[in-house]
Structure 1
């Protein structure tokens, strides 16, 4: 499996056969920001794991202290956009990693031990379970850059945490802590940081021991309401709004201010 930005480890159960596959975001120097390469690698790794009958659960973790800093700003802020400029294809369709997660039949578990920003948050509703440590935080600063939410999160987040909480997360653009995320329902459960991965792996192995047909069919039934045109319509509307926002005067001014602070 030729994946430069994802580390793949299989955890075998004591019983012969079933596996838990661990996929680790491996760009710690870039705070696991989603470049086109990382997004493509994660999408491919998820599809390959889902196609392997021996893999009964998938854990997604991250190297370093940050789960993900979101979309790699180098895609469109390495050089701030000009007014009227169209967003590069890499901004609007990073190999559709969200679609790979959304379509995955195998149970998906996210393990968040640090900051999750932007795309690192909007991916989470596509997981079946999300476990985090008390060190985790969650923020969606899209509007600070004159942009809008993405990855179908205008559909998935209100369903998961409610419309008003989604508004606070998106419109206020400030981080929430792990306890708040658990209370809101963005996170399934919190574990102590030192035992987070161990506990998540234990739960994944519990799932892997169960009859796979029943597990996959139950997951499909639970997610059935999301397998509708509504999710696709929301994702397409977000993409359209992102394209209209990118290169707008508001976006350029916000991006320039951000770019200058980084200089």
Structure 2
């Protein structure tokens, strides 16, 4: 586990909480591994009926750019911790509730497409700035986002990297509901407990049925995104952008 990922238990509800506040919860390879391990363990624990993904003042500022900048030091095609985490959350059979405050950037927004419930602060700042970083979408967002918010908004958000408020995310269907900032964690816990109290077998089967029609297409799209993302990480264009950001 990572010191920057805290695991909390409240009855049958498990909370995976990001805890790197000085970096706005920017995600490192170790944090991805810790989150993936926590999900894997929770999937096999009959005492866990629902999982909350949360941060603190910020959900997450996305991938730590130092990891992006150092990709050239690792072999091409090496399994990526972020993509492994995404595979874990896609396959997770129990309800996942996201509690989103502050920044939710990059994968901080795209992972929400795989959560069953998203509670966002009205003032949360969601963003998918892939093109601004010389990158491409990931987490199946090039497929799933349009189905959630419509083609026009999905195209604009992915192409421009525009910032989205939590209120707009809820109005568009990306979030389940938007609440005042101080109500995010209590609302997420209340909804998680509601789902955790229902029959777990029926919950798992319902989740499977809801996702089944897109499962094959999603797997294909995520595999293609993974290849394209890895290739873009190593381009001069992207590396120059990372270097510029890190100098700041």
TM-score over 0.5 for the pair: yes
Q: Aligned runs of 1:148-227 on 2, under 5 Å?
A: 148-227=136-215
168 and 87 in structure 1: CA distance in 2 versus 1, 3 angstrom threshold: farther
Deviation at 1:186, TM superposition (A): 0.8
For 2:99, the equivalent position in structure 1 comes to 111
* 1:247 equivalent among 231, 234, 238: 234
Structure 1 runs (4+) greater than 4 angstroms displaced = 79-82, 85-88
Corresponding residue of 2:6: 7
What is residue 102 of structure 1 aligned with on the other side?
90
Larger CA Rg, structure 1 vs 2? 1
**From 53, 60, 66, the counterpart of 1:68:** 60
Query: Is 2:52 aligned against 1:59?
Result: yes
Once residues 110 and 177 of structure 1 are traced to their aligned partners in structure 2, the CA distance between those partners, rounded to angstroms, is 15
Q: How many residues align?
A: 248
Deviations 1:159-183 (A, max 9, x none): 2222221111111112011111111
SS at match of 2:9: strand
TM-score (norm 1): 0.87
- CA 1:210–1:247: 2 relative to 1, 3 Å: closer
| Structure 2 stretches lacking a partner, 5+ long | none
CA contact (8 A) 1:132 1:178 kept: yes
Instruction: Say if 1:158 and 1:87 are closer, same or farther in 2 by CA, change over 3 A.
Output: farther
Q: CA RMSD in A?
A: 2.1
Tell me if the contact between 2:123 and 2:167 (Cα under 8 Å) persists in the aligned partners. no
Distance 1:257 1:113, change over 3 A: same
